[in-house]
């Protein structure tokens, strides 16, 4: 990339050519009349046509920087030092009119929730056209241009979409509209703040492709913000890694991710569970999983004053110097910089995975493969909503054996949570559904199940904020479960409480606290401790880490594997993150519109031949090192569960559709290999052949830019 020779260290030199320059920017929020500096001394620049990525964990100040650039900080926030220039113009010095012109002409922004970015009560077309009207166009003309623009973001029916309200469009469509709006003014700088975080992987892939395409078409500079390293790697030329409001490392994306020079970047990269998509099983079939690396500790509280290196507290390399002397940005050549005294040794930072502890021998409790513990037969759930019937789950058969981990994947709305709730008895299934636990059928509702059954099957919810009563102390949360599920009381309860919190690595000093005083990871540990209070046989985990940062996620995943090994518990692990599932699961179940599309041992499902849907899911996942992998893209929207397609539910989006039959006849779940079933009309051999070629007709929207101009 041409930007490699740009100086990065210290104050970047002003380049007339730069689309964006930040110079020693500090941003503070005043909270309870105290200034909290959440962005400190951040400098970077984005050259014309360049794509710059800003990556970092939640709360590190990414959005704050983005908003500071467009001067849209919250009322209590202000840029307390430094300068920001767009196209060489000092943003902070503009008056209202100039600022408005800047926003209208030079910079646009796209953010996380497309649904909220659009005005719910104004037609989509009007909102897009407004951009042109601001530029002085009359309404008629503006509407025409808006339609044109919607075409450019590859909306198939621009005219139709113009006449709709935002709530009538799907997330992916909305984000396209927002992008269309952002690009309509042909800005020199486009800021994207986690533009795909709220989207499904399949949709995310599409939107990312679209952005890549449009970027070259419009020759716009990008400031791309994400917590997802892989997305940044895919989208950006250069990257800046933020930690606690400081830019700790900067450089060409490929270089930074290949050989990070800051212990934080190193730690982040190591905690990603799955970095090799096609590299086969990440662990031995029967052996323990290698624990993931984690970063100990947590972010300093916003606004805390730190003397030395901000990362020192969590850094395996830190010494006295790090704690007292704040490191400057060390130029390390190749256009790279690192804010670490010991940047040369960064990669030697010790791997911390103490959660895993010493692998204990599985012991005699390993009774995998016997009679399934949990068994669902033709489990269906129909929701009735405002006269509509929504098939949340449709004829699902599923077994979970003792001690195994079954991964459940699928796009949003595919019925994963519904399946979990049916199994555990929080949602009563339709007539004819059967739930068997330990060989005997159980009541469809949890409250009617026997105490033993309740104990045997527990759940860890996705969102610990919702799952933990915020008015109860950690002690109360766990001990109540111990007494209700474990039947403990008195001293025995206290003893068990101590051993339980110890086994989830929750220091006892947290016991008197309320959930609000704990970080996300700690909260999830409390939730896990609670689920294990009654010595369950199966624990359902519904996306237990999706709300967590990667480094925290790693620790939780380590904890779960550790617990499984020691307690011989089975997991039904739900996730939309194939990496996580891949890391944990022995067997995988792929859901689509409430139906099982594929099911089988992890290795078999993740490697071809597999269902075209699985194939698409896999190829949608951005990874750090697959820049040139060919992708299968899914066309169109996920159909509504209220009105599922006839025939194969996937046929509307299937890149490998073979014809009539897909539209009319729903395929059986064929057990092609022992324990591996695929619901597809295409014979296994054909699938294998097609997917082996892998260069087959690039289906649907390819990665190239649209031809129209």
Partner 1 sequence: MSIGAVPVESAAAVSAGQADLRGQVLRDLVRQKSFIAGAVILGFWILAAIFGSAVVKDPSAQNLLLINQAPSGSHWFGTDSLGRDMFARVITGSRDILITAPLATLLGTVMGTILGLVMGYFRGIVDDVVGRVVEAFLALPLVVTGILGIVALGASNTTLIIVIGIVFTPLIARTVRAAVLLERELDYVSAAKLRGEGSLYIMFAEILPNVLAPIMVEFTVRLGYAVFTIVTLSFLGFGIPPPSPDWGLDISNNFPQVTAGYWWEVLFDALAVASLVIGVNMIANSIESALDAS
Partner 2 sequence: MSLFILKRVGLGLITLWILSLIVFFAAQVLPGDPARAILGNQAAPSAVRALSHQLGTDRSVLAQYGTWIGHVVTGNLGTSYEYQGPIGPQLTSALGNSLKLAALAFVLVVPLGILGGVVAALNVGKPVDRITSVVGLSATVIPEVVSGIVLILVFGIWLNVLPIQASTPPGSGFGTQLYHLILPAIPLTLILFGYIQQMARAGTVEALASDYARTATLKGLPRGVMIRRHVLRNSLLPTITVIASQTGYLIGGLVLVETLFHYNGIGTLIYNAANHKDFPMLEAGVLVIGVVYMVATLIADTLFSLLNPRIRYRGVE
Ligand X SMILES: Nc1ncnc2c1ncn2[C@@H]1O[C@H](COP(=O)(O)OP(=O)(O)OP(=O)(O)O)[C@@H](O)[C@H]1O
Q: What is the binding site for partner 2 (CB under 8 A)?
A: 70, 72, 75, 96, 100-105, 107-109, 111, 113, 116-122, 127, 130-131, 134, 165, 167-168, 178, 181, 185, 386-387
Does 481 participate in binding partner 1 (rule CB under 8 A)?
A: yes
- Please pick, from the candidates 10, 14, 17, 31, the single residue that binds ligand X as defined by CB under 6 A: 31
| Segment 329 to 358, residues that bind partner 1, using CB under 8 A | 350, 352-355
Cα–Cα dist 356/376, whole Å: 32
Does 534 participate in binding partner 1 (rule CB under 8 A)?
A: yes
- Please pick, from the candidates 95, 97, 286, 447, the single residue that binds partner 1 as defined by CB under 8 A: 447
Does 469 participate in binding partner 1 (rule CB under 8 A)?
A: yes
Cα–Cα dist 605/58, whole Å: 32
Q: Which residues contact 692 (CB under 8 A, 6 or more apart)?
A: 608
Tell me, what DSSP letter sits at residue 687? H
Q: Which two tokens stand for residue 196?
A: 């795909």
Does 77 participate in binding ligand X (rule CB under 6 A)?
A: yes
Cα–Cα dist 71/27, whole Å: 11
The interface region with ligand X, picked from 90-98, 209-217, 405-413, 653-661 by CB under 6 A, is 405-413
Residue 105 interacting entry, from partner 2, ligand X, partner 1, none, C-beta within 5 to 8 Å by type: partner 2
Closer CB to partner 2, 70 or 211, in the complex:
70
Closer CB to partner 2, 134 or 351, in the complex:
134
- Please pick, from the candidates 60, 142, 222, 584, the single residue that binds ligand X as defined by CB under 6 A: 60
Closer CB to ligand X, 66 or 678, in the complex:
66
Does 63 participate in binding Mg ion (rule CB under 5 A)?
A: yes
Minimum distance of ligand X from residue 137's CB (angstroms)? 34
Minimum distance of partner 1 from residue 412's CB (angstroms)? 18
Count other C-beta atoms under 10 Å from residue 338's C-beta.
30
Does 424 participate in binding partner 1 (rule CB under 8 A)?
A: yes
Report the Cα 626 to chain-centroid distance in Å: 18
Closer CB to partner 2, 178 or 317, in the complex:
178
- Please pick, from the candidates 103, 145, 154, 227, the single residue that binds ligand X as defined by CB under 6 A: 227
Minimum distance of Mg ion from residue 403's CB (angstroms)? 25
Closer CB to partner 1, 451 or 692, in the complex:
451
Residue 59 interacting entry, from Mg ion, partner 2, ligand X, none, C-beta within 5 to 8 Å by type: ligand X
The interface region with ligand X, picked from 51-59, 216-224, 282-290, 648-656 by CB under 6 A, is 51-59
Cα–Cα dist 689/708, whole Å: 34
Does 38 participate in binding ligand X (rule CB under 6 A)?
A: yes
Does 506 participate in binding partner 1 (rule CB under 8 A)?
A: yes
Collapse the DSSP code of 536 into the 3-class scheme (helix H, G, I; strand E, B; otherwise coil) and give the result: coil
Cβ-based burial of 439 (10 A; exposed 0-12, middle 13-18, buried ≥19):
exposed
Does 475 participate in binding partner 1 (rule CB under 8 A)?
A: no
Question: Alpha helices, DSSP H only, in 415-570?
Answer: 416-424, 451-456, 464-467, 474-485, 490-503, 520-531, 550-567
Report the Cα 572 to chain-centroid distance in Å: 19
Question: Alpha helices, DSSP H only, in 44-138?
Answer: 62-69, 96-105, 114-117, 124-134
Tell me, what DSSP letter sits at residue 290? P
Q: Which two tokens stand for residue 56?
A: 């970092």
Does 58 participate in binding ligand X (rule CB under 6 A)?
A: yes
Which region holds residue 395: left if phi is over 0, alpha if psi is between -120 and 50, else beta? left
Does 165 participate in binding ligand X (rule CB under 6 A)?
A: no
Report the Cα 224 to chain-centroid distance in Å: 16
Question: Alpha helices, DSSP H only, in 19-95?
Answer: 62-69
- Please pick, from the candidates 6, 188, 294, 564, the single residue that binds partner 1 as defined by CB under 8 A: 294
Minimum distance of partner 1 from residue 515's CB (angstroms)? 9
Does 458 participate in binding Mg ion (rule CB under 5 A)?
A: no
Closer CB to partner 2, 117 or 437, in the complex:
117
Does 557 participate in binding partner 1 (rule CB under 8 A)?
A: no
β-strand 246-252 against 238-243: which pairing, if any? antiparallel
β-strand 189-193 against 374-385: which pairing, if any? unpaired
Minimum distance of Mg ion from residue 544's CB (angstroms)? 12
How many C-alpha atoms does 517 have within 13 Å on its Cβ side?
10
Contact 464, 527 (CB under 8 A): yes
Residue 627 interacting entry, from ligand X, Mg ion, partner 1, none, C-beta within 5 to 8 Å by type: none
Cα–Cα dist 499/509, whole Å: 14
- Please pick, from the candidates 42, 65, 467, 500, the single residue that binds partner 1 as defined by CB under 8 A: 467
Does 409 participate in binding partner 1 (rule CB under 8 A)?
A: no
Cα–Cα dist 499/314, whole Å: 26
Binding mask 388-427 for Mg ion (x = CB under 5 A): -----------------------------x----------
Backbone φ and ψ for 505, nearest 5 degrees, come out as 60, 45
Residue 426 interacting entry, from ligand X, partner 1, partner 2, none, C-beta within 5 to 8 Å by type: partner 1
Count other C-beta atoms under 10 Å from residue 77's C-beta.
20
Strand partners, 190: 108, 222
| Alpha-carbon distance values, 405 to 103, 174, 293, 541, 565 (Å) | 51, 36, 21, 10, 11
Cα–Cα dist 41/23, whole Å: 8
Per this entry, what is the length of the chain? 709
Backbone φ and ψ for 233, nearest 5 degrees, come out as -60, -40
Minimum distance of ligand X from residue 598's CB (angstroms)? 15
Does 578 participate in binding ligand X (rule CB under 6 A)?
A: no
Does 471 participate in binding partner 1 (rule CB under 8 A)?
A: yes
Cα–Cα dist 428/431, whole Å: 9
Cα–Cα dist 75/543, whole Å: 35
Q: Which residues contact 294 (CB under 8 A, 6 or more apart)?
A: 267, 271, 352, 353, 355, 551, 552, 554, 555, 558
Closer CB to ligand X, 299 or 478, in the complex:
299
Residue 416 interacting entry, from ligand X, partner 1, partner 2, none, C-beta within 5 to 8 Å by type: ligand X
- Give me the residues that bind ligand X (CB under 6 A), please: 29, 31, 38, 56, 58-64, 74, 76-77, 227, 302, 383, 385, 390, 392, 410, 412-418, 576, 641
Residues at the contact surface with partner 1, assessed by CB under 8 A: 32, 294-298, 300-304, 314, 316, 350, 352-355, 424-426, 446-447, 451, 454, 458-459, 461-463, 466-472, 480-481, 484-485, 505-507, 510, 513-514, 516-519, 521-522, 525, 530, 533-534, 552, 555
Chain residues in the site for Mg ion (CB under 5 A): 63, 417
């Amino acid at each position: 990339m041409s930007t490699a020779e740009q100086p990065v260290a210290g104050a970047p030199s002003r380049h007339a050519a730069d689309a964006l320059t930040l110079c020693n920017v500090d941003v503070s929020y005043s909270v309870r009349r105290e200034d909290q500096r959440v962005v400190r001394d951040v400098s970077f620049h984005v050259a014309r046509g360049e794509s710059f990525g800003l990556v970092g964990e939640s709360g590190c100040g990414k959005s704050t920087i983005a908003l500071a650039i467009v001067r849209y900080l919250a009322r209590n926030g202000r840029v307390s030092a430094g300068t920001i220039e767009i196209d060489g113009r000092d943003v902070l010095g503009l008056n209202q009119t100039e600022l408005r012109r800047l926003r209208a002409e030079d910079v646009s922004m796209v953010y996380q929730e497309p649904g909220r970015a659009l005005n719910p009560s104004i037609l989509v077309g009007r909102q897009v056209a407004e951009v042109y009207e601001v530029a002085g166009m009359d309404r008629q003309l503006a509407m025409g241009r808006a339609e044109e623009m919607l075409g450019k973001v590859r909306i198939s029916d621009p005219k139709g979409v113009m006449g709709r309200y935002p709530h009538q469009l799907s997330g992916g469509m909305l984000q396209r509209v927002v992008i269309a709006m952002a690009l309509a003014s042909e800005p020199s700088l486009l800021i994207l703040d986690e533009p795909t975080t709220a989207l499904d992987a399949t949709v995310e892939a599409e939107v990312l492709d679209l952005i890549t395409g449009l970027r070259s078409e419009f020759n716009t500079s990008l400031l791309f913000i994400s917590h997802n390293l892989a997305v940044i790697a895919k989208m950006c030329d250069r990257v800046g890694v933020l930690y606690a409001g400081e830019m700790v490392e900067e450089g060409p994306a490929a270089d930074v991710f290949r050989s990070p020079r800051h212990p934080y970047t190193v730690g982040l990269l190591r905690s990603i569970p799955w970095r090799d998509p096609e590299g086969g099983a990440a662990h031995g079939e029967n052996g323990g999983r290698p624990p993931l690396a984690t970063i100990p500790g947590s972010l300093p509280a916003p606004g805390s004053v730190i003397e030395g290196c901000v990362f020192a507290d969590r850094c395996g390399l830190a010494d006295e110097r790090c704690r007292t002397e704040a490191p400057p940005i060390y130029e390390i050549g190749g256009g790279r910089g690192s804010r670490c005294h010991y940047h040369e040794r960064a990669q030697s930072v010790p791997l911390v995975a103490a959660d895993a502890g010493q692998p204990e021998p599985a012991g005699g409790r390993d009774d995998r493969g016997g009679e399934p513990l949990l068994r669902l037969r033709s489990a269906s759930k129909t929701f009735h909503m405002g006269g509509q019937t929504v098939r949340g789950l449709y004829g699902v058969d599923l077994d979970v054996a003792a001690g195994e981990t079954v991964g459940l994947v699928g796009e949003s709305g595919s019925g994963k949570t519904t399946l979990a709730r049916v199994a555990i008895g929080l949602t009563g299934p339709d007539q004819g559904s059967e739930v068997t636990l330990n060989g005997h059928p159980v009541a469809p509702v949890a409250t009617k199940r026997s105490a033993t059954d309740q104990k045997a099957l527990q759940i860890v919810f996705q969102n610990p904020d919702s799952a933990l009563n915020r008015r109860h102390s950690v002690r109360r949360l766990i001990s109540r479960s111990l007494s209700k599920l474990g039947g403990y009381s008195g001293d025995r309860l206290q003893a068990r409480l101590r051993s339980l919190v110890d086994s989830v690595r929750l220091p006892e000093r947290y016991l008197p606290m309320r959930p609000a005083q704990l970080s996300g990871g700690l909260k999830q540990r409390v939730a896990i401790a609670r689920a294990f209070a009654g010595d369950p046989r199966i624990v359902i985990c519904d996306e237990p880490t999706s709300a967590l940062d990667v480094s925290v996620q790693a620790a939780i995943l380590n904890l779960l594997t550790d617990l499984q090994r020691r307690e011989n518990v089975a997991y039904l692990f739900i996730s939309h993150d194939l990496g996580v599932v891949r890391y944990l699961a022995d067997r995988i179940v792929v859901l689509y519109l409430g139906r099982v599309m594929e099911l089988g041992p992890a290795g078999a499902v993740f490697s071809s031949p597999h269902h075209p849907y699985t194939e698409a899911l896999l190829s949608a996942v951005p990874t750090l090192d697959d820049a040139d992998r060919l992708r299968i893209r899914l066309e169109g929207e996920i159909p509504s569960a209220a009105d599922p397609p006839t025939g194969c539910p996937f046929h509307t989006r299937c890149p490998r559709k073979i014809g009539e039959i897909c539209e009319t006849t729903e395929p059986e779940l064929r057990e092609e290999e022992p324990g591996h079933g695929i619901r597809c009309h295409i014979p296994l051999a054909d699938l294998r052949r097609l997917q082996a070629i892998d260069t087959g007709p690039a289906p649907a929207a390819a990665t190239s830019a649209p031809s129209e101009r």
